Chain A
Amino acid sequence: MRATPARVGLTCAALAGLLVASLLLGLKLGTASVGPAQVWAWLTGGEVPYATQVILGDLRLPRLLLAALVGAGLSMSGAVFQGVLRNPLAEPFILGVSGGAAAGAVSAFLLGLSGLMPLALMAFGGALGTISLVLAIARRRGRMETSTLILTGVMINAFFTAAIMFIISTTTDQKLHAILFWLYGDLSSSRLEQVWLLLPVVLAGAVTVFFFGRHLNLLSAGGMAAAALGMAVERVKLILFLVVSLVVGVTVSLSGLIGFLGLMVPHLVRIVLGHDHRLLLPASTLLGASFLVLADTAARTVISPSTLPVGVVTAALGAPFFVLLLARRGSQWW
């Protein structure tokens, strides 16, 4: 579908509607039963019991908002990676960029740094370092072959897993459960201050990459073609990778390793809306938000009253999805 302002606007409106619906569903569903009438009363400022106020306002709402932002950031980053590396299987988790960010965040623990900001900055550094490594490997051919991509990701992840395990081994037992849960992508300790940290990052990232939509369209054809058609290729790539490192870094520092979202969401969007990044990027951002809100709601409810890390849900869906795409030989539809 050719991108026009009307189509982009309409798509965004529809997907924003879906996001609101997902958030409402997420507010209602959970271990403690809250009726739709009570949710409505709480939203409109009516009278609700104190316990319900705490459940909705302090427990569910921060978690839902954080899930939406994390989903948006990771999906958007996946779409950017796929455009620049010209491979539909590129994704922050699969490439090892999330792992790099996690290693950065865990080393912040080790260094005794606490607080959201130092953690986010260390994760940003980890993501940036990993992206530079991935780029150095991809640069040789211009396009990242699927086998190179997967092997690179496996190796980077293996290295960072080792690094993280080393760091974990040296920490006290009390922290262990928290770090392990965080590693598997957990949103159960969400707080509103995390939302306020992630919101500007994801928002600024989404707006920036949207304005690079045409650049990504050209880059999907190849760097040589993009340069011949008038694009300053290296500068654009640098900007995009900085933005994506920041988004992935901050996201991972708050939510841990949530994989495959950046793979599944842009792929689903492409099936319906085509490959133009001016549609693909905002649509992936919004659909990713709804996707993770729903996935996290499932993580909270399927084994209720206990909960799963949401990364378990996305991996359970995403890994078979990845294998399916691989079996269909990426090049045929990309």
Chain B
Amino acid sequence: MVVAHGLGENQSEPALKAEGLGFAYAGQPVLEGVDLQLGPGDMLGVIGPNGSGKSTLLGVLCGLLPPGEGRVFLHGKPLAAYKRDELARLMGMVPQGAELAPGFSVLETALAGRFAVMGGRVFENDADLAAAQQALEQTGIWELRERRAGELSGGECQRLALARALAAQPGILLLDEPTSALDLDHQLRVMGMLERARRQKGLSVCLVSHDLNLAALFCTRLLLLSQGRPLAQGVPARVLTPHLLAQAYGVQVAVDAEPSRGRPRVTLLAPRQP
């Protein structure tokens, strides 16, 4: 039988795919049975209570943690078949709590993000500089390029860590709470920048967030984790329901539509007085 592979089908082939992922820490399972697909232009938001396995999931997806069960495929090949630097060229990862070298300038830090792209080259060339400049402009800290990382505010550090990952110009970005230290304006700017990149360049983003409303506003799909297991996955309106959130977080919420995009908006309700 001849199967025709249309162009559309090829394009929607997931860049990153996980099947039955599981991870145990000291004998305790922290992640179980997670399946997900991340295609070009997707923005997947991973949400869930503290300790529900969100950061562990990102760690397994980027290859920093070996999966106990299941497999991760990057462009159809198992993750284990890639070398560390090959992975970094294809997939950027920004862990929680940005690790920066305080003595290095903002520009030097962004240039350090070119590590995997540079291969055996010792010094950066014009293309590396251009990529670093673009990453710093995208995150709005190009003006701070001569400042030392140790002198930046928390929000600036967070944007610098993102810029360092962007500088490698990967097709996939895994971000652990990328906006947790940002004010409202910069939350919008960073999410808007990621949205433009996914729309215009087909960037795939997987981000962990505790801000359900921000995630609902920008993510194409959400994955709700609870105690390491996927509780729901799909478009924000399907995942952010009072029933599912009550199940995951054990709190009562009201969900309505926010006015700008009609995405679900979650409002926390105070518990009834006993």
Q: Hey, which bits of chain A sit against chain B, CB under 8 A?
A: 2-5, 86, 210-211, 213-214, 217-218, 220-222, 224-225, 227-232, 270, 274-276, 278, 331-334
Contact = CB atoms under 8 A, between A and B. Distances in A.
Contacts of A224: 64, 95, 99
Contact of B102 (A3, A229, A278, A334): A334
B112 A275 contact: no
Contacts of A222: 99, 101
B103 A333 contact: yes
B108 interface: yes
A2 B164 contact: no
Nearest to B90: A230
Nearest to A88: B103
A4 B107 CA distance: 13
B169 interface: no
A158 to B, nearest CB: 31
A229 B62 CA distance: 11
Q: Which of A213, A229, A334 has the most CB of B within 10 A?
A: A229
23 contacts: A2-B105, A2-B108, A3-B123, A4-B123, A210-B122, A217-B101, A220-B104, A221-B100, A221-B112, A222-B99, A225-B164, A227-B64, A227-B84, A228-B88, A228-B95, A229-B113, A229-B115, A229-B116, A229-B165, A278-B122, A332-B150, A333-B150, A334-B102
A230 B87 contact: yes
Chain B interface size, as a band, is: 35 or more
A227 B95 CA distance: 11
Given A221-B99, A228-B88, 11 more contacts: A4-B123, A217-B108, A218-B112, A221-B112, A224-B99, A229-B112, A230-B87, A230-B115, A231-B84, A270-B103, A276-B108
A334 B149 CA distance: 10
B36 interface: no
A220 B101 contact: yes
Contacts of A334: 102-103, 150
B103 to A, nearest CB: 4
B179 interface: no
B103 A275 contact: yes
B216 interface: no
B93 interface: yes
A205 to B, nearest CB: 17
Given A225-B95, A227-B64, A5 B103 contact: no
A224 B221 CA distance: 28
Main secondary structure of the interface of A (DSSP, over half): helix
B231 interface: no
Contacts of A333: 102-103, 150
B94 A228 contact: yes
A3 B102 CA distance: 17
A276 B107 CA distance: 11
A270 B92 CA distance: 30
Nearest to B85: A230
Q: Which of B103, B116, B168 has the most CB of A within 10 A?
A: B103
Interface of B: 62, 64, 83-89, 92-95, 98-105, 107-109, 111-113, 115-116, 118, 122-123, 150, 161, 164-165, 168
Contacts of A332: 150
B116 A214 contact: no
Contacts of B122: 210-211, 213-214, 278
Contact of B89 (A5, A210, A230): A230
B104 A275 contact: yes
A229 B132 CA distance: 14
A2 B164 CA distance: 16
Nearest to A86: B101
Given A211-B122, A214-B118, A228-B93, A221 B84 contact: no
B84 to A, nearest CB: 5
Nearest to A8: B123
Contacts of B89: 230
B93 to A, nearest CB: 4
Contacts of A275: 101, 103-104, 108
Contacts of B100: 221, 225
A86 to B, nearest CB: 8
B150 A229 contact: no
Contact of B103 (A2, A220, A230): A220
Contacts of B168: 229-230
Contact of A232 (B62, B84, B95): B84
Given A228-B94, A230-B88, A218 B64 contact: no
Contacts of A274: 103-105, 108
B215 to A, nearest CB: 22
A275 B149 CA distance: 11
Contacts of B113: 229
A334 B102 CA distance: 6
A38 B105 CA distance: 49
A3 B112 CA distance: 12
B188 to A, nearest CB: 26
Contacts of A221: 99-101, 104, 109, 112
A227 B99 CA distance: 11
A228 B123 contact: no
B123 A5 contact: yes
B99 A2 contact: no
Contacts of B88: 228-230
Contacts of A211: 122
A225 B116 contact: no
